[in-house]
Amino acid sequence: MVKLLDTDIMTREVLEWEGVHLFHFHGSSCSQKTRICFNLSHIDYTPHVVDLFKGENYTEYYLGINPRGLVPTLVYNGEVHIESNDIILFADENISNFKLVPQDSKVEMRSRLEAEDDLHLDLRTITMRFTQPRGDKIRSDENLQNYQEFGSGTVEGILDINRDRELNFWRKANDGGISDEAVKLSANKFKAELDQMDTHLKDNSYLLHDSLSVIDVAWVIYINRLIFCGYPLERLHPNVAKWFWPLRKKKEFDSELTVSPALQEAVNQNHRHQIETCSTLIDVANL
């Protein structure tokens, strides 16, 4: 469970905040997951939007709150919690009015969420390649320089190696883009997971036991993004599709996952170009 120490936090004002505050961005998959869990759990919070398109996560102010520069971040009565799965599990235990983590499944839930989190960079890889067009540099040199310089650089009092992982990802993407090989590797990881889910959902209504849980929310987010990128869910995983769409259409999910008409058109236009050039996700990953 990642809760920052006092020494990790350089934007000191948040240490005095009371109540539930959530730093988030609408299009961030981890933010979506957190907001949906908060919706389902009836958790009221004060929202603080961090616009990733404008690079607000690389400002001195935000890196002073979350040295990893990621969203979401939870500030709860002056305590700063980072990493979406840790935030969700903390909130379910300490704030929630409706539990999404069964009492007898906490160990299994954390293990399943860790496996889901291991695919986060794979989701990012596919997203960066198959949503809207991007410039030559996905992250500006100025933003990456700010990321390296601002903030404490420590998490729980220890120099944070995750920042180097983030920097390496974005620098590699800036230098050479997202390669076909990277896409194939990431898409096949998801296909393997979804194949297993498809078998499970043939005889089960949910991914864990017999009721909606955090792991269902997490995978709805991932699958929604994959579909947004052109993943052929119905063809490859029909049982997953039957499970996915009723949840996706629930108001607690739909309100957080629906994108603006302008963004949807940008994605559609990019997909039309990919179809014309045989460079869709299906083409590149041989799905």
Residue 103: per-residue pLDDT? 81
DSSP summary character for residue 188: H
Question: How far is C-alpha 243 from the geometric centre of its chain's CA atoms?
Answer: 20
Beta strands at 46-49 and 20-24: parallel, antiparallel or unpaired: parallel
- CATH 1.10.287.130 assigned to domain 112-132+178-285? The reply is no
Give how far the C-alpha of residue 100 lies from the chain's centroid of Cα atoms, to the nearest Å: 18
- The CATH homologous superfamily for domain 1-100+139-176 is Glutaredoxin (3.40.30.10)
| Nearest one of 127, 118, 285 to 218, comparing CA atoms | 118
pLDDT value, residue 135? 67
pLDDT in tens, 222-256: 999 999 999 999 999 999 999 999 999 999 999 99
Distances (CA, A) of 125 to 12, 59, 222, 269: 34, 24, 13, 20
* Ranges in the chain, pLDDT < 70: 135
Structural domain boundaries in the chain: 1-100+139-176, 112-132+178-285
137-178: pLDDT as tens digits: 888 999 999 999 999 999 999 999 998 899 998 998 888 889
Answer yes or no: same fold for 1-100+139-176 and 112-132+178-285: no
CA atoms of 32 and 50, how far apart (whole Å): 13
- Number of Cβ within 10 Å of residue 262's Cβ equals 9
Closest CA to 264 of 214, 227, 213, 216: 227
Asked if residues 87 and 11 have their Cβ atoms less than 8 Å apart, the reply is no
CA 157 to chain centre: 25
